[in-house]
Each structure stands twice: as C-alpha cells, then as structure tokens.
Chains A and B, each alone.
Chain A
Amino acid sequence: MMQLSSVFFGTAFFSYLAATILYVVGLTGRKMKAQSAALATFWTKWGYIVVIIGVITQALAIATRGIYGGYTPVSNMFEYMSFWAFTIMLAFVIINAFYKVPVLGAFVAPIGLVILAYASVFPRDSKPLIPALQSYWLNIHVTTAALGEGILTISFAAGLMYLLVTTDLTKNSRTAKFLEFTVYLFFALLSFVLTSLGFRAAGYAQIVSGTMGDQLYHLPPFIGPTGAELGTAAHFLGVPLPLFDAPGWMHAADAGMQFNTILITIIASLVLYAILRLIARKPLSMVIQKWVSGLDSDMLDELSYRAIAIGYPVFTLGALVFAMIWAQEAWGSYWSWDPKETWALITWLYYTAYLHFRLQRGWEGKKTAWMAVLGFVVILFLLVGVNLVISGLHSYAKA
C-alpha cells in the first residue's frame, strides 16, 4: 500500500510539474506569434486536464496511505504540507471551473508544486498515531482547516496577478520592488527544496560536534554548532568547514544547523535568481507580467475577494470551531492559547480585518490585493513557522 501510495504521489508531483510547464509555455507563447492564440488555449487546456489528473492521483495517494496507516494522513509535516498542496490544487480545479481563468493555473500550479516538493523535505515514513491524535476529529479538524487554507491560497494567487496586471513595472515604485521581492521569495523556497532534496539524494550526511552535543547535518556545515572546531568537520569544494560557529546566545543545540540551512538557502536562491535574471535581462516580475497582460484586472480583484469569501467560513469552521470542539474533548479545555491555535486566531483576525476593509471601508484593487498576498505569508507562518519556530501543544507536528 505504501509503495502504491508513493507511486501515486510521484505521479501527482509530475502532473503538477507538467501542468506548470504547460501553463507557462502556453502563456509565454501567447504573444509571440500571430497564430499562437489558439495554441495557447490548447496548452492551458491541457494544463488544466493535467492538474485534474494530478489532483485525482494525489487523492489516491492520500487514500492508499490512509489505508496503510489506518488514519487520514495529516499527522506530521510531510503529510500535512502535501495535503495542503492537494487542497490548493483542488480549490483551483473547482474555482477555475466557475471562473474560467486559465492563467490562474500558471500561478497556482507552481505554488502547489513547490509546497508539495517542500513537503517531501520532511521525513516521509508513516508513523502510528500518538494517543492525543487518536480521534476522528483528526480527520475532520485538520482536513477542513487545510481546505480553508487551500482556498485562501487561491486568493493570494489572484491578488498577485492583480498586482502584476495593474503595476507599471518600468517605473521604480515600491510596489514594483515588492513584487520583484515576492518573485524572489518563490525562488528562495524553490532553492531550499532543491538544495535539501539534492544533498539528500546524494546521501550527504556529516556529524559536527559542538559544546551542546553532536549534530547530524544533511547540508555542508558552513556554520557549525556553538563551540565546534573550525575547519575540521568537512570539506566542501576544497573549503574546510565549518567557516564559523553559531554564537552562544542562540541557545538551541540545533541553532547552528538551522542558521546553516538559512545561509545556504539564501546563497543558492541568489545564484538561481542571478542566473534567471541574466537570461531574462530584466526583472523577473516583468517576465511574469507578460503572462498576465491583457487580463481583466476587475475580474482578478473579484476573484481574489471571492476566494476569501468562500475560504473564510471554511477556515473558521475547520481551524477554529472544530479545533475548539476537539480541544474540549482531548485536552479538557476548548482554548489553551497554544501557539498554533493562537496563530489560527491571528489568521482569522487578519482575514476578518480584510473583509471589513473591503465590505465596510470600500477597499478594493491594490490595497486588498496586497492584503491577500500578505495573507499567504500569515498562513505560511501558521502552518510552517509555528511548527519550526515555536513549540507548544501541537509540537508533535514538528517532524
């Protein structure tokens, strides 16, 4: 069952990859030749079909893994992040069926793809559930919350497209800079996934000793743990490592390792960005802007809002109400100010503010588009940041 699940999972991954390529090719080809308009619809149409294939195979991957483990596979980081990628693509399939904005796929498919790839950086083995998670509420609470987050992610994609359509990137405005930075962040996430998976595939492992014990590095240890002897742990491209150690005030034993991962990600992403930038010979946001040129900005604005209007109640139900009921059942208190539930509340307050700005203060266009884009950062922190940075009652989700 587990092998079957892996096969389905791989198929889904490559479907999303193929869909991303189909969409991007379809959109870049659109303006090049006179006869290419029809071709573009051909490409994007196939992109949509391939996305649907991906969603179906991922559903099968989730189902087979669920049969193997005996529970809905949403209990650790790998399972949850890949489930989130699934809900994003599912939300896209449904919303695109109503709104018919194929270009949306060129943004959503890469997002889903990178999140799915990011999921596979985490340990992939299926572990039996600890007592706290042995409840049918695991299925209900986590899946509903993920669905809400998936729909809200569509709002981010549409908001980003809106900003690209309406911003004059030739002028050096703050919006233009932020957009370029957003594009860079995407490549930063991509670099993290590529370096992590690359070194793992190569079987890279290096133990570095510090004053707070040994640390197993899966990336070249440019930064050692506190107190590690410099230049003695390993060689990478002829450079003796570590180059320096994590300062003592960072406290945590794995601070050096985390710091090291961040440093490598930044270096790798800058290299990747520089290469792409040299090929494009202009800001990457301008390249992407071409894909969306000619799109109806009002429609994108509406789409971004509609995704929040649909996703917000689902999120409230799954991430707050179901969470409270389960907490009452399992922990004996419906609210404990655990960091995860507090961040769910913060996310909820954020989108509540969005809705009041939009519906009561008449905000629309650029302002709400930025809010939708930033909302994705809030969700990302809720799902990833809280688990990796803050510990709490949900800390079993760390691995």
Chain B
Amino acid sequence: MNNRKKTFFDAIWEFFASVKVGITIIVLLAIGSILGTIYPQTNAIPSPNPDFYYNDTYGKLGDLYYRMGLADTFNSWWYLTLVLMLFISLIIVSIDRGVPLYKSLKRQPVARKLIAIQADRLYTKAEGGDAEAKLEALAQQLKKRRYKVRREDGALLAEKGRLARFGAYVIHLGLIITILGVFSRLIPGWYYTDMIWLKEGETKPVGNLGFSVQNNGFTLEFYDQAQTRAKKFETDAVIYENGQATAKKHLAVNDYLTYKHTNIYQNSYDPQPMFKTGTIELLDTRNNNKSLGTFVIDFNNPQREYKVGDYTVTMANYFPDVKVDPDKGVFTNSRDPYNPGIQFDITGPDQMEPARQWMIPLAGPFVKQMLGKDYRFDLQFKDVDLFHMTGLKIERDLGWWPIVFPGLVIALCGLVLAFYFQHRRVWARLEEGVLHIGANTNKHWIGITGELNKVLVPLGIEPVSQKRKEEPQQS
C-alpha cells in the first residue's frame, strides 16, 4: 500500500470514527425523519396520482413538498445516504474503540501500581494484624460474590461484569445487523409485497411465486347498527399450487397464514359492496303494477335471456359499474358490479315489439330522468345479495426472522448491558505489611460501595467511602 492511499483510508476512518460525525448523522436522520412526517408519504395516500393529490389536498405547500421529493423522504437518495453513513459509522466506531478496550482489559496487570490504587475513588487500607490472611479472606469473599479473582504474590485483581463495558458496542452490533436485515430486501427474491383483492370464490396467482390464493368466503361484522365500527373481517383463504389445494386458513387481522416463507394477511376490505345476485320482480305498469313473475340475476355472470311467466326478458346491454354522463353518454367504470346498469328488451303476449328499458338499482333521480321514465314495465328488486371484496396483503420478507429480529434482540441485550449492568473491579496490594484496597466501577458507585463494605467490615477493615461526588461518566 502506498502512502497516498493510506492517508486517504486513514482520513475516511478518522472521519467515521469521530463522535462528532456520529452525532451529526443521528441529528440529521432525526431532522430528515421529521420532514418525512409533515405530509403523508406517497405510499400512504389514497390516490394513485401523487402529481395531483398533493396540490389538490394540501395546496401550494403540498405541491412544493411533493416536488422537493419529500413525499418519498425515506427512499430519497439523501436519506438512504445518511442511513449508509450511520451504518459505516457504527462499524468503524465499534472497531476503533471496542478493540483497544478489549485489548487493554485483557492485558491489565494484576499488580497495579500502588499510587494508582491510592488514587482510586474508593480506597481503604488495613494496617497491622495478619495482612496476608486478610488478603486471602478478601479473595474468598469476593469469589463468593461472583468476582473473577486473579492473584499474584501480594496482589489481587477481582473483576466482574466486564461485558458491561462492551454494552454500547453490542448495541452497535445489533443495529448493524438490523440495518443489514433491512437492506436484505434488495437481494433478488428476498422481498415481495403485494395487495390482492378477491371477490367471493375468486382465485388469483400470487406474483410469480408459483401459487394462488382463493377467497372461499368473506365475513364482515360491525359492533353497531350504523356500521361505523368494524368488529371483525375475516376470509376463508385456500392456497392452490399446481391445481392442488395445499393450505387453508381462516384469516383475520392479527392472524395470518405463512406458506412457503410468504405471509398472507387479512389487511382490509372494500367498503363499497358489490352486487352478487338479485331477485327481480317484473311489474306491469299499465295494469296497476300487477306482478308478472320474478327472475334471478347473477351479476358476475348474467344470462342473456330470462323467462318470466309468459314474458321474455332479454339483456341488451350490461354495464357492471355504470356511469351516466350528460356528455359522454353511458359507460362502465370497471368490470366489477358495484353499480350495475342493465338495458333490457322485454317481450310478451301483449308486447310483440320489444320494449327497451333501463334498470339501474342505485340510480339517482337525475339519471332516472335522463334515461326516460315512462316505461311499459317496472323492474323491482325483491331481494339482493351484496358482498365485499377482501383485501389480502402478501408479504415475503426473508430478512425479518433470521436477520432483523436477532439484530433487535442483540441491540436490546446491549442496552441492558450498557445501562443496567456495571463493570466492577477491586485491586488489593500488600506493601510493607499494609493491605491497600482500591475499587472502581463504570457507574452506580453506591452499589459497589455497599457491596465492598459488606466484605470489608467483617474482615475488620475500615469501610470505603467515595472521595468525590458521584459522576455517571462511563469510561
């Protein structure tokens, strides 16, 4: 490696090892995240046209927000760059400080310099008596308190909870793994997400994952009569692979199905119902609305012709989701029977010439008037069966269980180590018949003071007390 390259590498290393840089990244991420919550992000808006949505809903400011790319903050190049910088910083900081700390703790001498022991925040000495025996007793007592005790002649080092010193680096490690897990979504095949809308009985393939999902019945219940507060919505789902039903589950919110590492969730339902079947009565308007009989229409698959008594009802035109526009005429919005409109030709014994007329059950007075009203017959719904489409969410995220989740657990362990555990050390040294005892902890001085005095007092050694005020600093 030549000199110039080394300097460059060093510069990068120093940059990311700096605490200032680390804190700056954290603060910038926080500020960036705040920007991303001002207006809903594009993935959360109820419109497929963000170009218009922000302007229409939030005015000029919303439009500016969208144009600046803030409507997709969390996928923007600068946000992802910050996350990447955080990732690099976490790795470099942990190596830069964790490794030397590990080495220094590993190499620490048992016999510490007397002057260092005397300078300890907790310090006491025992003069007279059998100092050697006291040292021995001290070692035994500390061992009982789960200290790791090492001895050299006339010197003692007792230590416990060394791992607590690495708490911060364990947190960093957990976060590194978590971020890796998040970005594992970029590996081809590791991440797939989709929303599937299914009518009753309908089957649709799940992406190109090689299986299909079928809605075998959807139930919707409300707490109240006005149907404002949903109690439950659930789908009987069946998975088909190669024509075989391979799995089934009664899906509910919070209760999903896992099939071949792919999760299928009950996510939502279409609040607007569709027409399933309807029983329709044919009435003769010229004869006091006398009933001429009934017939049943399947709106997903209507017949061409229906026999009603002596009359024949022929379907001339079918618009499953009819829209009547003064300028554009009559057309259908979709192939889903949300608002069916049917044009019938009706013939019978007293009606040789087909009487053409509309039937639009959800039509308002305006549409009715536009399409004509003085019909020969009247078509009345006697009974109608509606249904809701179920919305299933498909989520295949191979990084969650093996990477993200363990990363979070490790980070939590690190938090516990860093904040709830302490690294305690006790040194003792026998010098000219005097036993010098010093102690140190990385936090919670009251704890170690109490613990040490429980050991010292029975041995007839003067208890320790803190020299300075408690300082929480971690070293």
Residues of chain A whose beta carbon lies under 8 Å from any beta carbon of chain B: 127-128, 130-132, 134-135, 137, 249, 251, 298, 302, 305-306, 309-310, 312-313, 316-317, 321, 324-325, 328-339, 342-343, 345-346, 349-350, 352-353, 356-362, 386, 390-393
Contact = CB atoms under 8 A, between A and B. Distances in A.
A337 B472 contact: no
- List of 9 A-B pairs having minimum Cβ-Cβ separation, nearest first: A332-B395, A131-B253, A313-B415, A349-B30, A135-B254, A332-B265, A360-B19, A332-B393, A339-B37
Contacts of B41: 337
B19 A345 contact: no
Interface residues of B, number: 58
Interface string B166-204: 001000000000000010000000000100000000000
Contact of A131 (B30, B254, B400): B254
A352 B404 CA distance: 20
Contacts of B29: 349
- Output the residue of B400, B415, B474 with the most chain A CB within 10 A: B415
Interface string B234-265: 00000000000000000011101000000101
Given A342-B33, A356-B19, A316 B415 contact: yes
Given A321-B408, A342-B33, A353-B26, A132 B253 contact: yes
Nearest to B74: A337
B27 A337 contact: no
B34 interface: yes
B230 A359 contact: no
Contacts of B23: 353, 356-357, 360-361
A358 B30 CA distance: 18
Contacts of A298: 469-470
A127 B229 contact: yes
B474 to A, nearest CB: 5
Contacts of B267: 331-332
Contacts of B19: 356, 360-361
Given A312-B415, A345-B33, A302 B470 contact: yes
A291 to B, nearest CB: 23
B8 interface: no
Contact of A356 (B26, B36, B232, B420): B26
Given A316-B412, A331-B265, A332-B263, A337 B43 contact: yes
Given A333-B397, A334-B404, A346-B34, A131 B232 contact: yes
Given A312-B415, A337-B44, 14 more contacts: A131-B231, A302-B472, A305-B472, A309-B472, A313-B420, A316-B411, A317-B415, A321-B412, A324-B404, A332-B395, A337-B36, A346-B33, A358-B472, A390-B37
Contact of B30 (A316, A334, A353, A360): A353
28 contacts: A127-B229, A128-B231, A130-B229, A131-B231, A131-B233, A131-B253, A135-B254, A298-B469, A302-B470, A313-B415, A313-B419, A316-B415, A321-B412, A324-B408, A329-B254, A331-B265, A332-B263, A332-B393, A332-B394, A333-B397, A337-B41, A338-B44, A346-B30, A349-B26, A353-B27, A356-B26, A358-B472, A392-B44
B396 to A, nearest CB: 10
Contacts of A352: 26
Nearest to A361: B19
A386 to B, nearest CB: 8
B412 A317 contact: yes
Given A249-B59, A361-B19, A306 B472 contact: yes
Given A249-B59, A332-B256, A359-B473, A392 B40 contact: yes
A356 B253 CA distance: 40
Contacts of B253: 131-132, 134, 330
B223 interface: yes
A73 to B, nearest CB: 17
A356 B18 CA distance: 12
Given A332-B395, A356-B19, A342 B59 contact: no
B432 to A, nearest CB: 37
Contacts of A386: 37
Nearest to B221: A131
Nearest to A317: B412
B50 interface: no
Contacts of B36: 337, 342
B59 A251 contact: yes
Contacts of B416: 313
A48 to B, nearest CB: 21
Contacts of A317: 412, 415
B22 interface: yes
A385 to B, nearest CB: 10
B58 A251 contact: yes
B230 A330 contact: no
Nearest to A391: B40
Interface string B434-475: 000000000000000000000000000000000001111110
Contacts of A135: 254
A18 to B, nearest CB: 32
Contacts of A331: 265, 267, 393
A333 B193 contact: yes
B168 to A, nearest CB: 8
Contact of B230 (A130, A334, A337, A349): A130
B243 to A, nearest CB: 27
A131 B412 contact: no
A302 B469 CA distance: 10
B254 A132 contact: yes
Nearest to A345: B33
B419 A312 contact: yes
Nearest to B24: A353
Nearest to A137: B254
A312 B19 CA distance: 20
- Output the residue of A127, A251, A359, A361 with the most chain B CB within 10 A: A359
Contacts of A134: 232, 253-254
Contacts of A330: 253-254, 265
Nearest to B414: A313
Nearest to B34: A346
Nearest to A357: B23
A309 B37 contact: no
Contacts of B40: 339, 390-392
Contacts of A361: 19-20, 23
Interface in B15-63: 19-20, 22-23, 26-27, 29-30, 33-34, 36-38, 40-41, 43-44, 57-59
Nearest to A347: B30
A303 B73 CA distance: 37
Contacts of B405: 325
Contacts of A356: 19, 22-23, 26
A247 B20 CA distance: 45
B37 A334 contact: no
A332 B264 CA distance: 8
Interface in B352-410: 393-395, 397, 400, 404-405, 408
A126 to B, nearest CB: 12
Contacts of B469: 298
A287 B420 CA distance: 37
A107 B59 CA distance: 43
Contacts of B263: 332
